[in-house]
Amino acid sequence: MSKTIKCKELCLSDFGIHKVCYHGGTTYDATKGKQQTNIGYMKRGSCIFSTAFTAVECHAGDLVYLPEGTRYSSVSTGEPDVEYYVVHLSFRTDKQGIRFDQRYGMQKIEVPGGIDAGKAVTEMYALLESGEVGSRLLALEQFYRLFGALLPSLKEAEAPNCSPSVIKALAYIESHCCEDFSVAELAKECYVSESRLYHLFRAEMHKSPVEYKNEMKILRSIEYLKNGYTSVEEISASLGFRSAAYFRRLFKKITKMTPTEYRRKNAGV
C-alpha cells in the first residue's frame, strides 16, 4: 500500500525581501490593508506600528510580524538613519481557503535564544540580490529554517470583531484625523445615524470617535517631536488642536509624559 502525504499549505506562493533606508525617519500609511504578510527586521532606528486596537514599538535588532490585511500606520525614526528589511511572504491556502501566515496577529517577535534572526534576514537578502538560481534556493532554505524557529513564538491573531460601520469610521478617522469634522458628519460617511454610530463605536472600541481621533493626532505628533525641529506650538496648529495647552494636556494623558519629556527621551535633545 502506498500513501502520499501533502503539505501544500506550507508551500510559499510568494517570497522576496527589500531593504529600505531613510535619513531621519518617515511615516507609512497602510490603513487600507497590507497587501502581503511581512516580517520586518529593524537594523537601525526605531518604529511604532499602530492599528486601531494596538501598537508595537520596535528598535534596532527587533523583528515585527505584520500579516496580510493588517490596517496600520507606522512612524519610524532614525539615529540619524533608518535601515529596515522587509521579508514579503505568502503561503498557499489550505482546503478551507485559509492562508497559514494569516493565522498570526501583528506583534513584535520574541526571537528564541541562540538565533541571530537579523543576520539570517540580511544573508537572505544578499543571496536573493545575487540573482543566481542556486543562491535564491539557498535563501528559501534559510527562510524556512528561520520561520520554523520563530513559529513557536508567534501568537495567533485575536482581532476584535468590528461591525462594517465601525470599520468605515476607523478608516475615515485615520485618513482625516487632522481635519475638522463632527460625529454627525462621520456617521453620514458611514451611512448610519449619529446615535447608532456612537453606540457601536463605544461598544466595540471602548472609546468615543472623538477620543480615537485624538489618539490618531497624538500618534502623528510623535513623528514631529522626534525630528527635533518643530516646536510644540507648530505641531499643535498643524494637527488642528484648538491650543498648544490643550495639545500638551492630551499628549500627557495618552502617553503619560509631556511633549518635551517625550522628545528628550526619544530624540536625545
Question: Burial level of 242, CB count in 10 A (0-12/13-18/19+)?
Answer: exposed
Q: What is the band of 34 on the pLDDT scale with cuts at 50, 70, 90?
A: low
Residue partners of 40: CB distance under 8 A and separation at least 6: 47, 58, 63, 64, 65, 66, 84, 85, 86, 87
How is residue 269 annotated by DSSP? Answer: -
SS3 75: strand
Query: For residues 254 and 218, what is the distance between their CA atoms, to the nearest angstrom?
Result: 8
Whole-prediction pTM:
0.63
Listed in sequence order, the residues at least 6 apart from 47 whose beta carbon sits closer than 8 Å to its beta carbon are 40, 57, 58, 64, 74, 75, 76, 77, 82, 84
At 103 the pLDDT is: 85
CA distance 102 to 35: 12
Classify 241 as helix, strand or coil.
Answer: coil
Q: Which residues pair with 65 in a beta bridge?
A: 39, 107
SS3 (DSSP) at 93: strand
Query: Are the C-beta atoms of 24 and 227 separated by less than 8 Å?
Result: yes
Measuring CA to CA, how many Å separate 211 from each of 13, 200, 203, 254? 41, 14, 14, 10
Q: Tell me, what's the pLDDT at 158?
A: 67
pLDDT tens-digit map of 145-157: 999 999 999 998 8
Q: Do residues 210 and 242 touch, judged by C-beta distance below 8 A? A: no
The per-residue pLDDT for range 81-100, each reduced to its tens digit, is 889 999 999 898 777 667 88
Confidence of residue 268 (pLDDT cuts 50, 70, 90): very low
**Among positive and negative, which fits the CA dihedral 156, 215, 61, 32?**
positive
